Structure 1
Amino acid sequence: MPVVERTTFIAGRSPAQVLDFCLEGANFPKIFPEPVTPLGALDLDNLRISAGREFSFRHWMWGVIPATWTVVIREVGDRHFIDEMLKGPLRAFRHEHRVEAADGGTLYTDRVTYRALGGALVERLLVNAYMARIFEARHRNMVRLLR
């Protein structure tokens, strides 16, 4: 499976502060670089990420292509959480969020493993570059929002 892993230093914030920021549902669309629309009765302002929680949203790929996702939070710990796609635009998607103390701040890591519909050729032609761009932008947004 392809893997995207990106680690960013967030100055002046503890691991607990960074993780808490990520666990607040209201921050999800702020971090994500493309439009996100909650589905059903989901209210992002009242969403706290917790183990076992399932929710659905529409993500507008490249700002114009709607992709509906249903995800479940598989695990939440004091230094990480893991979400996994149940239904969506990929064959598989698993996203680990990790925080680690560093001198003067926190190292925040996203590690995503995925499998595209259409296999390795579609991954090479479209999905790998898309994933790299999305997670690069997520990290820029995290740094900007947590300054």
Structure 2
Amino acid sequence: MTVTSGGRIVVGVDGSEPSLKALRWAARQAALTGDSLHAVITWEYPASWATAMPGVPQGFDPERLAKEILDESLAKALTPAEAAAVTRTVAAGNPSQILVEQAEGASLLVVGDRGHSGFKAAVLGSVSTNVAQHAPCPVVVVRGKVAER
């Protein structure tokens, strides 16, 4: 079997345990295939912010918070050497749409089975279901236990 390198694996991260599992799985897959790893986190302003949502601290920066969550997730799930090699993208917009766009030209898109949606009864989360239906490359939805590092 010949392993080709030079591809790119995109993984969706939101700080949730399922996304950390997906990140660990994607890092192991990238190590096996020689592909680079590209971690993506997204953020959106809630619709209620248009009417000056009370209780939001002045100067709150959701993009900065998303970057911090991504950095913390990489530090928690990967070795320092693995985390340093990861390309990082913080993007504003719908998570499913951004992940599908980022997966253009990728060899694989990896997501957890559920993220921070709050609807825990679903078999798969809305993002994982949506990207599985619309991604331009193969998709892996990581479920269940993944070995810790």
Would you say same fold, with TM above 0.5?
Answer: no
* Structure showing the higher strand proportion among its residues: 1
Tell me which interval the TM-score lies in, with the shorter structure as reference length.
under 0.3
